[in-house]
Structure 1
Amino acid sequence: MADQMENIYWKQPLHILSESTQKVVYLFAKMGWGKTEIVKQWLEEEKHPHHWIDCTQRTTWGKLKEWLSLEPSDNCHFIILDSFQNIRNTERLTELMADIKASPKAYRFIIMSRTMVPSVLRPMMIRRELKVMGESELSMDKAAVKTYLAQDNIQATDEEAAEIRAISGGWPMALNAIILEIKENGGTPIRGCRYVQSRRYLYDLIAEEIYLPLGGDLRRNLMLLGMYETFDEEMAAVLMDVDNPRPILQDILQIGSFLTEFEPGKYHFTPFMYYFFMDRRERCDQQQIYIEANRRLGHYFEAKAEYVSALEAFYTYGLYEEGIRVLKTVLSRPPDSDVYYEMEPFLEKTPALCVERDPLLCYSMAMIHSLNYRVAECKDWYDRLLALEAEGGWSAEELKVIRIAVIHGKIAIPCVLGDRKVIRPLLEGAALIRSGVNLFNGFTVTGNQPRIMAGSRDFCNWCHHARLLEKFLKRPLQQLLGKKAVGIVDIGFGEKSYQEDDLDTCLIHAAKALADCEGGGTLDTLFVAKALLAQGLVARGKLGEAKSTMLGFRDRLVEEGGEALLRNVMAFRIGQSLLEGPNPGAIEWLEDEGIDESIAFHTTDRYGYLIKIRALLCSGGVERALPLIELIHAYALDYQRTYNVMETLVLKAICLHKMGRMTNALAALEKALAMARNYHFIRVFADEGGGILPVLEALPKTSREEDFVKKVTEATRAFQEQYPKYYGVQGKLDKGLLTNAEQVVLSQIATGRSNVEIAEFLSVSLATVKTHINRIYHKLGVKNRTQALLKAERLGIIENG
């Protein structure tokens, strides 16, 4: 099959050989890479005079010295040293380097070896007199693999060729074995990387040629390191249980090209060697050494607070006791970081009995399902926690831990309790803290939104009894929340006053909360206080002054470790920018930051989604906005967030009006008015200005003349006059439906290119292309390429035909 590879496989190495100006080219790779054939073909094509020396022959040095003693008649004369790995004598290698250095300028050398550059030749690398070429330059890319397969009458799709390229590493010997197996199975590629015979043949060959000839200590170290495809020197030290791993790593680098140092102190095994080590470990009886190595590595990552890596190390060999300890370290913190979400797969891998019998783990399963908007699963796990409490037979200390988890769930998980039943758990939680108990998990006060109270499930009902609740709950809240309670009561009153359109009172409370937060609160409550003050100023028509409230705040977040709030600060500023007209980059930025419902919907990001809905409505992306509004509305109903129900009804009315469906828009608006009337909330309508005003004005006369509706309409009209460009785009502007990147991908789909071809054409990963295509399908409401192109043509996103 070597003959078939000409001009397919060797294009890159042949080019490197032609372009090289160094005295020596050092070509190294393990068996089966075709080093000899590459050099022979190049010499034949270039017509270079040369001498070929086989380093397995005893006459090697005599021939070499004889040739070097003669002045070549040509301007460029090559000396080829094949099987160079057989020269192990250090004195002889030193002599060779001296001979090469002293040789006439016309002599150039190509050295072929299965091992890395010997130390005595490395000074030439430093002086740039020696060019190194390894397996990365020799391996076939996907296109070469596809063509190589075709020459054996095996027709592979781009995805199949990419899969074969991934498991073979572009290694010709591996490809040849795979081709034989494909032919034995009818000539069709086997999907899912299931080339069992090929793998076994190659693994046995690697063992015989590379692995077994090594010493016992080196084999052990290779097997330990081979648990990871990529690692650094600190990891290597922990895995091998040595103080200084570098000498061992340098020895391994000398053995062959299957391990490379791609950055100083960072190493990578070739894919096939990594799979070889995996296979050998699975068949090894001495599993305890790998268990202990992963235990050490897990402790190492745990000490560095790299919890996901620690859990991967522990769970690989079923070290659940250590893994559960790390899980509980992470899950005992508020769920306001990405790492909290990453605990779900490890919780699922933990033995079910361990989760069900541990109050924190049981609660955390309910919380993670809640955050991912899986209501039924959330309630199921919370019911298990309640069953644990009712079981009986617990010691007083054990029962106290269970009670903490139960109370925490009642307070923190919205779908657990009804809208008006959370006050008692607040009092119970505060009583536990007064008795000296620490709740296992702090509360996330803002829920990732700058309107701390309005989005709360209880805020609307609390507004009816605000002063009474302040009297009874202020101290319990301080006990429950600690520093996070600073400013929270004034923020609550400020938000209540704002929604009732009492802007003077709102601004007074906001200023007081801001001063308190600056004096001893947390960054998230400080952000909420700033946002509340800014909202009051915007309602006053003072947009410039409102913008100034956030000046310098992003820098402060970075300096004080509040990076988690940066996305919310930016989302808030995007919301402000929409008041001055459509913001073309807003939607793309939000999706780049993870506010993308086509990939995942996390409930803590609801504020970002509400801003995204407004950005879509302001730019005419109504067809895309409506399903997102329905999603947030359903979430608000399930989680009993009354204000968000009203808010999404108002946004739905705006969207339906822009779609020309006024009857439906009026129905949504009337539902929102009926709910808001109970709480006398005006700003939930007024803050949408010109978006909702036409729908308000289209209400029946009897509705328009009602006192509450008159106040709503008056405030809304005033806001529209202050910010006439907000919701200024009328009708559809569907070209704004897709981001620039998505339009580029869609145009490539129109050319008929496959996903792999699009990725190569745009120089992005296949995963990126698939993500863009999934987003395109979601936004257009289609299921395949043909439907996407037809819908895009109809909307004018791409040209007809």
Structure 2
Amino acid sequence: MTDKNIVPEIPPNMVFRPRLQKIFEDNYKLRRIIYVSAYMGWGKTTAVVEWLTEKKRDAVWFCLEDQIKQTVINSLLTEMNGNSSDRIIVIDNYNLLDEKELEYMNLIITQSNRRFIIISRAELPKMLSVYVGLSVHLIGIDQLRFYESEIVEYFEKWNVSLSDQEISQLNSNQKGWVGSYRYTASLMQAMGESYNRKIQLKALECIYQYLDVELLDKLDRVEKKVMLTVGCFDRLTGEQADLLLDSPNAHKILERFTRRGCFFTFLLPDVYVQHPFFKEYLTYTRSRFLAEDEIAEIYKTAARYFEKKKDTARALECYMNAKEYDGVIRILIQLSKYEVGQTDLWKNRSYYYRLPEELIKKEPALCCGMAMLGIISFHLEQANKWQAYLEEQLKILPENTPERTEVYEKLAYLSIAMPNTSMVNFLNTMKNWAKKVKYEDLQMQKANITWNSPSVANGGRDFTPWLKKAKWIKRPMDAVVIALYGDYGIGVLDVAVAECYYQQDKIQEALVQVISAVSYIEQKGSIIILFAAMTVQMMIMMLLGEIATAKPMLENMRDKITSAKAYFLYPSLEAVCAWVAMYENNYERVEYWLKNDAPDENATFSTLDIFRYNVKLRGYILFEKYYLAIGLAEKLRTVCIAFHRNMDLAQLDMLLAIVYHRMGQKDKAEEYLTEALIRGEKYGYIRLFADEGESLYKILKNFKERPSISKKYLKQVKEATKKIAVLYPSYMILPNNQDKLSASETEVLNLMALGKANNEIADYLNISLNTVKFHIKNIYSKLGVNNRFQAVHTARDKRIIK
């Protein structure tokens, strides 16, 4: 359309979308301006036309185009000054206005009393954004995207039937983008094939050609260079754009891209974020316009800038993209020196794996890193290979040379940091290196003692075999730890001893020890050790029945972690929160953690996550996913045996005892519990068992004496477990499943309580009528009722709904 002011026709094969029409209609009654914003190909114009046509709204249409823009604007102004006050004014391609035109149009639109539909590829202008929720309503990608039912209906228009798997794949690959479905449906129809990789790539090729014509080909030479250059990055600032292009005006072109809806979003104070799909397109397109050395130079320039700004993550990415291996190696070596080395190592593992092996062998720090990656990923053959390589280097390098000293240092570090080395080697290395640091002015690379778990005694290594001797070992080992690690070692032994007292159920001694440690660590120590100390303190408060005191401690932990910028501790903190939520019977919080934050044992396995896996194991038990619990436990067992993790082995057997007891296999449950208690008595674990409360006490109260377990120890465990069972009777136990409604069922029930009919509920939730009926049937069954009135009344009585 140009300036003919005629509403366009609905394109063929489009689906009727009542859901979207309702959004337009509801807001048309409440707002004077509806601003429809999305990138090209999202069906903005079609959505507006469909609503105008279906609701028979009187409208005049103005489509801005570069060649005749001023003519259209003049016609628009004439219309605004006319007498047809009831007629809707639609302005399409609003993103084509330049800065001055945009400012002028925003001003006259906000001052007018007419109703407007504005269609734009750009975000809502600042001048209009202040009116959102008042006179302006924004419709964006989230509303325009195709829902699954709409995808099915659209493909049926092309005589293409989709399976559930194809619907899921399309939804995942194309994210509801309307334009992409047109290409995919037409290709599937023409080729007579189901949705496959070939169709996906062919559709992508069509989309890229569309972007070439509609966007890239319309840019001038300078604009094209800017877009191809900044397109190398997910996000960048105006300053970075000027630097990369060696031009003081590059950021102005970026501003123009944002204003015209070219897949860039501006965030305050000076950040431009590129749409991921568009970055993929520019990556595909870039090689057609820029030579390899030009692309490499872009990445090198950016890498140097990011490294200077200490943005190591982006510097690494850029150096690797430029194949500038010296830069990658330099940063990886620097990161390995920090106390959170294992965390950075795991986060950056792809860079280690992509480096040529001959370059890794030249750097002992990288060889050490590869060995540690083998430990973290539980590929022990890789760990042994690189440790053996360093040992060979130690044999052939000349004495008293810096090269040999560095190799020796890395081997010593591996003896301390690798949990599969024996306790004897660990202790000897610690003592020897403490002397070397003191008398030979050598430095030991810092090892993360806890591996980010909230424990020192059972963190990166299981120190609980010392549990019964902790008090006597503390003083001599204190000096060794401080000599090796300086301030990072402050409080390490204090927290370990407090944990040992706690496990032995010596609660008063544990509390005194940890309170004094927390105060000291807060002043001078590491946030990693403080996290472990505060977790012990919190567990003691919960044991004393002070869960109201314990909860604020979690927020205090979060504040301190945030203040220290120790964001790598967040995953473990969230796991602690989920565990506490089990004691509070906050099942929604646990369910959310399992779904969104818990580690996936079936993806890339990481031994850094052992604590989090153990919490997840409890989550599986809570929600009665027993076979998943067994699978995870047996996977962890292999790691725990290799790493000599006695406490975790006892924990696994104890949790499996609970699993099998709940499955009705009581003999098997007692077998596992027997193994757990034998190990527990050997190392002095009491609270490990006691803290499981009612779930374990159900087995213990009928547990017969065994020659392999002393009566005294069994009595201690039973009594301590019974106290927690009384204090937290619902810990790890779901309420009656009869009352447990799903989120969808609760949503339907709330709408029933508001008096909505089935078809109204279906329309409101954008689900089919049959789905609503299915949910209602489940609600009646779970609540034990026969009609709507009973369902609502019962749900309110049980406080399922308000």
Alpha-carbon distance in structure 1 between the residues aligned to 2:42 and 2:711: 82
Alpha-carbon distance in structure 2 between the residues aligned to 1:22 and 1:727: 52
Say which of 360, 365, 369 aligns to 1:364.
Answer: 369
Cα deviation 1:446-485 (Å, max 9, x = unaligned): 3344442256755344457657755653322112222232
Closer/same/farther in 2, CA of residues 319 and 796 from structure 1, 3 Å limit: farther
Alpha-carbon distance in structure 1 between the residues aligned to 2:287 and 2:235: 19
Cα deviation 1:257-287 (Å, max 9, x = unaligned): 5445565666566788655533332234523
1:408 aligned residue? 413
1:116 aligns with 2:96: yes
State whether residues 620 and 734 of structure 1, in contact with CA within 8 Å, keep that contact through their aligned partners in structure 2.
no
1:520 aligns with 2:520: no
CA shift, 1:133, in A, is 0.7
1:84 aligned residue? 65
CA shift, 1:552, in A, is 7.2
CA shift, 1:744, in A, is 6.6
1:595 aligns with 2:598: yes
Instruction: State, as a whole percentage, how many aligned pairs show the same letter.
Output: 18
Please show how residues 267-666 of structure 1 align to structure 2 within 5 Å. 277-284=282-289, 286-335=291-340, 340-390=345-395, 392=397, 396-415=401-420, 417-434=421-438, 435-440=440-445, 442-454=446-458, 457=461, 459-462=463-466, 469-470=473-474, 472-500=476-504, 506=510, 509-510=513-514, 512-514=516-518, 516-518=520-522, 520-532=524-536, 547=550, 550=553, 553-554=556-557, 555-561=559-565, 565=569, 568=572, 584-585=587-588, 587-588=590-591, 590-591=593-594, 594-598=597-601, 602-611=606-615, 613=617, 625-666=629-670
Closer/same/farther in 2, CA of residues 399 and 734 from structure 1, 3 Å limit: farther
State whether residues 90 and 118 of structure 2, in contact with CA within 8 Å, keep that contact through their aligned partners in structure 1.
no
1:710 aligned residue? 711
Cα deviation 1:38-71 (Å, max 9, x = unaligned): 99999988989xxxxxxxxxxxxxxxxxxxxxxx
CA shift, 1:383, in A, is 3.6
State whether residues 20 and 131 of structure 1, in contact with CA within 8 Å, keep that contact through their aligned partners in structure 2.
no
Closer/same/farther in 2, CA of residues 566 and 762 from structure 1, 3 Å limit: farther
The alignment's C-alpha RMSD in Å is: 5.4
Q: Secondary structure of 2:587's partner? A: coil
Please show how residues 204-215 of structure 1 align to structure 2 within 5 Å. 207=212, 211-212=216-217, 214-215=219-220
Moved more, 485-494 or 678-687: 678-687
Q: Secondary structure of 2:12's partner? A: helix
Closer/same/farther in 2, CA of residues 133 and 525 from structure 1, 3 Å limit: same
State whether residues 430 and 480 of structure 2, in contact with CA within 8 Å, keep that contact through their aligned partners in structure 1.
yes
Closer/same/farther in 2, CA of residues 517 and 82 from structure 1, 3 Å limit: closer
1:241 aligned residue? 246
State whether residues 697 and 722 of structure 2, in contact with CA within 8 Å, keep that contact through their aligned partners in structure 1.
no
Closer/same/farther in 2, CA of residues 634 and 562 from structure 1, 3 Å limit: same
State whether residues 658 and 730 of structure 1, in contact with CA within 8 Å, keep that contact through their aligned partners in structure 2.
no
Please show how residues 142-161 of structure 1 align to structure 2 within 5 Å. 147-157=153-163, 160=166
CA shift, 1:412, in A, is 1.0
Closer/same/farther in 2, CA of residues 413 and 701 from structure 1, 3 Å limit: closer
Q: Name the aligned partner's letter for residue 650 of structure 1.
A: M
1:133 aligned residue? 119
Q: Secondary structure of 1:723's partner? A: helix
Question: Gaps (5+ residues) in structure 1?
Answer: 49-75, 748-759, 765-791
Say which of 635, 653, 667 aligns to 2:671.
Answer: 667
2:799 aligned residue? none
1:191 aligns with 2:174: no
Alpha-carbon distance in structure 1 between the residues aligned to 2:59 and 2:659: 77
Cα deviation 1:555-605 (Å, max 9, x = unaligned): 4444454565566567557767767x8553563254257334555554334
Closer/same/farther in 2, CA of residues 612 and 725 from structure 1, 3 Å limit: farther
Alpha-carbon distance in structure 2 between the residues aligned to 1:378 and 1:486: 30
State whether residues 621 and 659 of structure 2, in contact with CA within 8 Å, keep that contact through their aligned partners in structure 1.
yes
Question: Gaps (5+ residues) in structure 2?
Answer: 1-8, 122-139, 749-762, 768-777, 786-802
Closer/same/farther in 2, CA of residues 99 and 406 from structure 1, 3 Å limit: same
2:126 aligned residue? none
CA shift, 1:116, in A, is 1.0
Which protein, 1 or 2, shows the higher relative CO under an 8 Å CA cutoff with sep ≥ 6? 1
Closer/same/farther in 2, CA of residues 625 and 452 from structure 1, 3 Å limit: same
Q: Name the aligned partner's letter for residue 359 of structure 1.
A: P
Alpha-carbon distance in structure 1 between the residues aligned to 2:687 and 2:277: 63
Closer/same/farther in 2, CA of residues 216 and 400 from structure 1, 3 Å limit: same
State whether residues 169 and 271 of structure 1, in contact with CA within 8 Å, keep that contact through their aligned partners in structure 2.
no
State whether residues 365 and 381 of structure 1, in contact with CA within 8 Å, keep that contact through their aligned partners in structure 2.
yes
Alpha-carbon distance in structure 1 between the residues aligned to 2:712 and 2:342: 41
TM-score under structure 2 normalisation? 0.72
Q: Name the aligned partner's letter for residue 640 of structure 1.
A: H
Moved more, 708-717 or 157-166: 157-166
CA shift, 1:117, in A, is 1.8
Closer/same/farther in 2, CA of residues 761 and 645 from structure 1, 3 Å limit: farther
1:224 aligned residue? 229
CA shift, 1:411, in A, is 0.7
1:778 aligned residue? none
Moved more, 732-741 or 244-253: 732-741
CA shift, 1:629, in A, is 3.7
State whether residues 230 and 268 of structure 1, in contact with CA within 8 Å, keep that contact through their aligned partners in structure 2.
yes
Alpha-carbon distance in structure 2 between the residues aligned to 1:407 and 1:342: 23
State whether residues 511 and 540 of structure 2, in contact with CA within 8 Å, keep that contact through their aligned partners in structure 1.
yes
1:4 aligned residue? 12
Q: Name the aligned partner's letter for residue 408 of structure 2.
A: R
Please show how residues 652-801 of structure 1 align to structure 2 within 5 Å. 652-679=656-683, 681-685=685-689, 688=692, 692=696, 703=707, 709-725=710-726, 728=729
Q: Secondary structure of 1:4's partner? A: coil
1:786 aligned residue? none
Moved more, 448-457 or 95-104: 95-104
Closer/same/farther in 2, CA of residues 661 and 290 from structure 1, 3 Å limit: same
Q: Name the aligned partner's letter for residue 597 of structure 2.
A: G
Alpha-carbon distance in structure 2 between the residues aligned to 1:732 and 1:99: 71
Q: Secondary structure of 1:366's partner? A: helix
